[in-house]
Amino acid sequence: MSEKYIHIYNNLINYTRNKDLYKNLEREDNFSDRLTLFLLHFSFFLKNYKNEENKKVLQEIYDYNFRQLELSIREIGYGDQSINKKMKNYINLFHSMLSEIHFWDDLSKTDKLKKISIFLSDFQNNKELLEYFDDFNSKLSKKTLNSYLKSVSNP
């Protein structure tokens, strides 16, 4: 598989590693928490760049990211049968996220908070996470997809 989208994947991973995202989690974070935050970041990324012109590239990025996630799950030590089940669950979760944030820019803060809380129910004070994802969404909207494809730095 081509490595040309590794920078986008790594940038999304770096966003997910932001310790401030986990400060309102009243327990130690786990792989599932990190994966949920990764998928939320990726959802916003796709939402911002989805158009007919980017369709092929975004599909390649989508395929690449989910292949990388599958490899990460294998590294943890899951067997083939459980990997298939977990990947199906993660892909369904991701598509649910995409659906919920599709009209993000048109939602009120209250509605946005409800949407974020669907996926981050174990987190306390989701208002801070809402502000974070609003800011993240705004930053994405100010750049082109091409700038991310050619960049190795954080967006």
Phi, psi of 152 (to 5 degrees): -110, -5
Per-residue pLDDT at 151 exceeds 70: no
Per-residue pLDDT at 155 exceeds 70: no
Per-residue pLDDT at 92 exceeds 90: yes
pTM over 0.75: yes
Per-residue pLDDT at 59 exceeds 90: yes
Per-residue pLDDT at 52 exceeds 80: yes
pLDDT by residue (tens digit) across 64-74? Answer: 999 999 988 88
pLDDT by residue (tens digit) across 33-47? Answer: 999 999 999 999 999
Q: How far apart are CA 131 and CA 138, in angstroms?
A: 10
Question: What token pair was written down for 102?
Answer: 């599709």
